[in-house]
Amino acid sequence: MRTPFICGNWKMHLSPEPAAALARELAAKLGDCEGVEVGIAPPFVSLPSVAEAIARSPIRLFGQNCHWDKQGAFTGEVSAPMLRDVGCDGVIVGHSERRHFFGETDATVHARAKAALAAGLQTIICVGETLAQRESNQTLEVVGHQLRAAVSGFSPEQVAACVIAYEPVWAIGTGKIATPAQAQEVHAAIRGWLGDLAGASTASRVRIQYGGSVKGDNALEILQQPDIDGALVGGASLKGDDFVRIVAAAGQKAG
């Protein structure tokens, strides 16, 4: 049984003070999180204040990206060991906003994931197709390619330390959620590819999150699919009560 995993991606929202306030609200409302793993990914500058706010809570702290080197002349970047040093448990890599607005490629996503694992960070690797790719029946080809490139050369142990987030680009921030069947089809394919790459027993342990317009009132339906093990949540993760409802829906799945 895979523990459902809900992670809030706060994107470029919330400076240190308001971020800590939301983190405190979530810690109070979620309590022991009841059978669900919960993470939040604030902007870099808010990581220290949020780390302090959730210090006595099971909520885990994530960065939104990391560089592939430990340090160096890379203006604007943050390394995986630096994220560890401010208290991060994990990091998101390959988010479609990074791929589309900041030129992230399959090769850089792979390099970032590798560095994150080397630093001992749990690594959420995002994959997903655009609307044009879905409409031209390329979804499985695109997602399969992104996945294989991201974990290329990883040992089964490294694959097991990853979480895959399937996020159809057309569903992110648009209010258009994939149907449970559309999402399940891709999740099952991802688990199959992970099996080819790392063996069936590793594949059966990897959590595969869905992301894209997940909210309190649609989470349960999507989370009930057999290969959907949680959610990566953008907009709704900025609203305490909505995020708490999503975690509660995951708790129902956990039984």
Catalytic site residues? 95, 167
CA-atom Rg of the chain in angstroms:
17
Interactions with ligand PGA, residue window 7-66 (CB under 6 A): 9
Selected from 119, 121, 198, 214, the binder of ligand PGA by CB under 6 A is 214
Give Cα 238 to chain centroid, integer Å. Answer: 15
211 counts as binding ligand PGA under rule CB under 6 A = yes
How far from each other are the two terminal CA atoms of the chain, in whole angstroms? 11
Helix (H/G/I), strand (E/B), else coil: 111 = helix
Half-sphere exposure of 26 (CA within 13 A, CB side): 36
> How many binding residues for ligand PGA (CB under 6 A)?
13
The CB-of-121 to ligand PGA minimum distance in angstroms stands at 18
Whichever of 228 and 236 has its CB closer to ligand PGA, that residue is 236
The CB-of-173 to ligand PGA minimum distance in angstroms stands at 4
SS3 content of the chain, % helix, strand, coil (to 5): 50, 15, 35
Whichever of 39 and 121 has its CB closer to ligand PGA, that residue is 39
228 CB neighbour count, 10 Å cutoff: 24
Distance in angstroms (rounded) separating the CA atoms of residues 253 and 238: 23
Distance in angstroms (rounded) separating the CA atoms of residues 206 and 32: 23
The CB-of-65 to ligand PGA minimum distance in angstroms stands at 13
Name the residue whose CB lies closest to ligand PGA. Answer: 234
227 counts as binding ligand PGA under rule CB under 6 A = no
Q: Which stretch binds ligand PGA (CB under 6 A): 39-47, 74-82, 127-135, 209-217?
A: 209-217
213 counts as binding ligand PGA under rule CB under 6 A = yes
Distance in angstroms (rounded) separating the CA atoms of residues 159 and 202: 7
Binding site for ligand PGA (CB under 6 A): 9, 167, 172-173, 211-214, 232-236
